Each structure stands twice: as C-alpha cells, then as structure tokens.
Copies of this chain bind each other. A is one copy, B any other.
C-alpha cells in the first residue's frame, strides 16, 4: 500500500510546532498512553489528519517533541580530569531525569518503547546514541591519557556508569541525584576491593581460599 508522501515544502510550520508542544505537554501531564491523538489535535487546534499526515504514529510525534525539548546538550566537557567531567555530565543527566518536564516525558517514552520497536530504535538513535558516543569519546581520550586502564571495554563502562542512573530513573526506588553520581564514580574508579587487594592482579585471582559459608 504505497502511500504518496506529502510535500514537505507545503508544510505548515505553525501547525507542526503546535502539535509538538501539545504532545509534549499532554505527555508530561497524563503520561504516554493517556495522551491521545485526539487530545493532541484538539489542544493544538489542529485536525487529526494533519497529525496522521506527517507522523506515522503517536510515538513518532512524542519522540520528535522530545528531541525539540532536550536541546543541544550532546556536548561533553574536557577539563583533563575524566572523573570531574563525568561527574559534571552525569549530574546534569540526573537533573534532567528528575526534571518535571523532560524527565517525565522521557520516561514515558522509554516505557512505550518496551513494546514498540520503532520507538525503541528512535530513542536509541536520536536521544541516547549521540550522548553515548560523546561519553565514549571522552573516555577514550582518558584511556589514551592513562586515566583509565588500557584494555577496559569503554562501551561497558558507559553502560555501567549510566545504567545506575537509568536504574533509579526507571525502577523508581529513589530518584538519581548528585550523591549517587559521586559514589558511583568513587566505586567505579577505585574498585570495590579493599586497598590491599587493589594490586592489579587480574580479576578472579583475588580470592585465595574461599571460606566455607553456613
């Protein structure tokens, strides 16, 4: 059922902006599922068809609205101190997660992505991808400067650091915050082992005689 795509040149920019704003606000206030196309059209003062014409699904609207809202923050400072830079950026992320605007819409979108492959792909590509890459790039430089040990898998490191933030964000036991970021960086960089074990022996050799447990 090949559909003729509409001509982008004729697009009404005002309608587009109204729709994105309405979608964002509704999703913030009611959550993703209760944000209906009907309601978006009504609040934007727009016909439903105008939405269906330009976006393939509700998720696509929300995703685009998210992209408009998140701003330009893909950048990652480089002060020379990788932990300081990470702390700064991760703290910013934790603030973003706990913000009432972006934070609540984004979690809604991630929620929707659990059963919507397009949404999941969109989030990874548009939101997470660039920021993940920026973080990874910063870590790579740190690794070159011997602030991170050679051979460490940088992708897994990013997942480790940010995963802890996402965990609190999505599982909602308690919100992420600057204190969590501080502790995470301390633990991750220094390692979990006591100092006497922190001697560079390869992982797995640190326990000499496993104690029998009750």
Contact = CB atoms under 8 A, between A and B. Distances in A.
Nearest to A150: B194
B168 A159 contact: yes
A148 B112 CA distance: 38
B114 A170 contact: yes
Question: How many copies make up the complex?
Answer: 4
Interface residues of A, number: 82
A55 B30 CA distance: 22
A192 B189 contact: yes
Which of A114, A116, A164 has the most chain B CB within a 10 Å cutoff?
A114
28 contacts: A30-B115, A32-B115, A78-B213, A78-B214, A79-B211, A80-B209, A83-B204, A83-B206, A84-B207, A108-B114, A108-B115, A114-B170, A120-B172, A141-B213, A145-B210, A147-B193, A147-B197, A148-B193, A152-B192, A156-B164, A156-B183, A156-B187, A166-B166, A182-B203, A190-B193, A191-B191, A191-B193, A191-B198
